[in-house]
Structure 1
Amino acid sequence: MIAAAVIITLLYALSMLFLLYGFFQVQGFSGKNSAPKTHFSIVIPYRDEAENLQELFDSLLKLKYPAEMFEILAVDDASEDKSAELWQDFRKEHPQLNIRLLQNIRKTGSPKKDALSLAISASEYDYILTTDADCVVPQAWLESFSSKIEETGAKVIAAPVALKPEVSKMSFLRGFQEMDILSLQAATIGSFGVDLPFMCNGANFCYSKKAFLEVGGFEGNRNFAGGDDIFLLEKFRQRGLHPVFLKSQEAIVKTSATWSWSGLFSQRVRWAAKAAAYKSHFSKSLGLLVFLMNILLVIVTIGTIAAAFPVWLLSFMFLIKFNVDFFLIYNSAKFFDREPAVKSYFLSSMIYPFFSSWVVINSVFSGFRWKGRAFKK
């Protein structure tokens, strides 16, 4: 047991350093002040997002891009609040924007994939750009993607996602989430840097409609409630389309934090539930290694308290993980200009192995609830 724990800790450290190397391999990009050339279909599925829509609307109005070069397709997924009414009012108040309002048609076990498929089939332009209704988009969003497309000719582009800034004093729950999303973004960027991309975020994801149709859209993954982004990324890679990452501060989409531990737990279970269906050997191996590292740290912590393991083993495992994770998260925080958030790292690092392990276990053996709906395993 002790030897296995040491080996897994060292393998984990090497894996994180590999991703850190990849993080630095992805060059920063700025597409501001370049001439707009690409037309975009912005797709926004939504369900019960009335409290978040005004922020989204305000950010869409600030886009520095010719209105005739993009359309917005908002897909209502059976909202029970005033979301649909707010979208209708927004369209009436801003006729200069090409806004199309669609009603989702449920066909599969994944409402979001149904909504995305519907919007993509109705879209006018070749480049699809997806985001979520609880997000705000930056002014140079479309400009940055257009420049990246012109420079690289890429058909698939992932881009960064961060939490919206905290208005009041930052709570520990929000700080914990920020450490988590910074680590996920670091791993995402790092995987692109070593040419083994295995993660992206549908809140900021761009791809060619032709490419989407070429890979068969979401066929083969429709029984999973989530994964519209990662499953699609895998299919693009398998077809040899070479996804790229837009590492630009001008392209960062900001999303809402979850305001309860139960909500955060349910969200993470939803994210983890689809992992077993991934086809990437790298992502599966890395996911298993991360789980083993976390669960062993939990076991060794409890065992050390019970005097079943030597103190040096716990110290060794914790210090190795603490330091390699810190380097990854700190460099991610620098890119997102969120270094002050790292003050949450110490306490988060002690809680995270317990939280993460419980999320994975639940994702294997139980379903979850999301947006008022129950999804079975």
Structure 2
Amino acid sequence: MFLYLLYFFIALIVIQFVYYIGVFSKFSFTKPDAINAKNIPISVIVCAKNEEENVKEYIPILAQQDYPTFELVLIDDASSDETLEVFEAFEQQYPNIRLVKVQNNEAFWGNKKYALTLGIKAAKYEHLLFTDADCFPLTKDWISNMSAHFDRDKKIVLGYGGYIKIANSFLNKIIRYETVLTAIQYFSWAKSGRPYMGVGRNLAYKREVFFDVNGFINHIQVRSGDDDLFVNQAANKENTTIAYTPESFTYSEPKKTFKEWFNQKRRHIATAEHYKWGDQFQLGIFYCSQLLFIITAIVLLAFQFEWILVVSLIAFRYLFTWISFGLGAKKLKEKDIIYWYPVLEFWLIFTQINIFITNIFSKPVHWK
């Protein structure tokens, strides 16, 4: 029996090798492509619901981007705090702000996709750049770096949305590790010609792509997914590219408690259940191979079956995964989490098990 378990263990490592070296290397091992600013007109779209404090801090950063022709479309999604009043004050201050006021619609009550649709229709320009109300770019060249990737064929640009570093916080390291691993995955699959998701914290596309797939209508009943479900439906090998120069990054305030982050990941995983079957399959194989690798390694070591060979295989697996993940994390300016990689991987894998089980028995809460 243990011999067959050893063969199974080797098969799991082969699967991991295919992912980390065969797929993820397409992002981790490659150099950034040279880009040239195009200065095409851009509509930056921000949808906010009860984000009074965040928009006070971050909207001026967006409004003052160093870019020749852009507007800032601010969508107030029926906020019950002072978000709308803050937006109206900014509208008076900055001439390039366009304000969209959303009233609650009985058919789309509390649905962010409805609010975003109104904002997309109201936008002046064809090229759209999205971020969230709690996000900000590090430099004034964010629009320039994201828009430079548009061309005649590339109509969807996937960007990186990271989280602010908090010193001496293990939770913060877990959050950033999961964010980097997710980014490495969707960047790598996009470079492989199979884009499957993007993040609304940093995403750009042409309005024609939105209307070509009838907007969010095919998944309007899913409360989340205005970013990843849209990309999963609309993106393909020909029309999608990625942006990963540091000047193109956005950052957000991370969750402060494990419960808040846990609930956020519950929503993300529930949304992934609506991906195309092939994308669900490859994500499932990747996760299962990680989990089963740990379980099988523990069993084989506990019974000391061919333990020298098993330890050698474990070392080989961590060598190639650490190199691949490390190079990707370095590209995304997250070098400090590389040193914590094995511990963070273990924590994330078993946290995801908890999330899967929890989602079976209760539905996560979406948009505010």
TM-score interval, normalised by the smaller of the two chains = 0.7 to 0.9
| 1:298-344, Cα deviation, whole Å (9 max, x unpaired) | 64477579x57859498577545544442233112211223123233
Q: d(CA) in 2 for partners of 1:206 and 1:139?
A: 17
Measure how far apart 1:117 and its partner are: 1.0
Correspondent of 2:283 among 280, 287, 309: 287
- For 1:189, the equivalent position in structure 2 comes to 187
Q: d(CA) in 2 for partners of 1:74 and 1:311?
A: 62
Q: d(CA) in 2 for partners of 1:100 and 1:335?
A: 36
Measure how far apart 1:127 and its partner are: 1.1
- For 1:134, the equivalent position in structure 2 comes to 134
Q: Does 1:53 align with 2:49?
A: no
Q: 1:25 to 1:338 in 2, by over 3 A?
A: closer
- For 2:144, the equivalent position in structure 1 comes to 143
Q: d(CA) in 1 for partners of 2:110 and 2:317?
A: 36
Greater shift, 290-299 or 270-279, is seen at 290-299
Q: d(CA) in 2 for partners of 1:120 and 1:143?
A: 20
Measure how far apart 1:244 and its partner are: 0.9
- For 1:350, the equivalent position in structure 2 comes to 346
User: 1:1-377 residue pairs with structure 2 within 5 A?
Assistant: 2=5, 3-24=7-28, 27-29=31-33, 31=35, 34=37, 36=39, 38-66=40-68, 69-92=69-92, 94-103=93-102, 105-106=104-105, 107-108=107-108, 111-137=111-137, 138-150=139-151, 153-166=153-166, 169-237=167-235, 241-279=238-276, 281=278, 283-297=279-293, 299-300=295-296, 307=302, 312=307, 315=311, 319=315, 322-370=318-366
Q: d(CA) in 2 for partners of 1:220 and 1:371?
A: 18
Does the 8 Å contact 1:129/1:205 carry over to 2?
yes
| 1:62-115, Cα deviation, whole Å (9 max, x unpaired) | 30012xx222222223333332222222222x2332231322544347712112
Gaps of 5+ in 1: 373-377
| 1:208-262, Cα deviation, whole Å (9 max, x unpaired) | 1112111111121112122222222232236x75211123222111122111111
Q: 1:35 to 1:198 in 2, by over 3 A?
A: closer
The share of aligned pairs that are identical, in percent, is: 20
SS in 2 for 1:244: strand
SS in 1 for 2:365: strand
Q: 1:274 to 1:128 in 2, by over 3 A?
A: same
Does the 8 Å contact 1:104/1:114 carry over to 2?
no
Q: 1:316 to 1:31 in 2, by over 3 A?
A: same
Runs of 4+ in 1 over 6 A off after TM superposition: none
Normalising by structure 2, report the TM-score: 0.87
| 1:270-317, Cα deviation, whole Å (9 max, x unpaired) | 111122221151x22221112312442564477579x57859498577
Gaps of 5+ in 2: none
Measure how far apart 1:192 and its partner are: 1.7
Letter in 1 for 2:192: V
Q: 1:323 to 1:267 in 2, by over 3 A?
A: farther
| 1:35-74, Cα deviation, whole Å (9 max, x unpaired) | 62x11221111122233223312321330012xx222222
SS in 2 for 1:136: strand
* Alignment RMSD (CA, Å): 2.9
Letter in 1 for 2:350: F
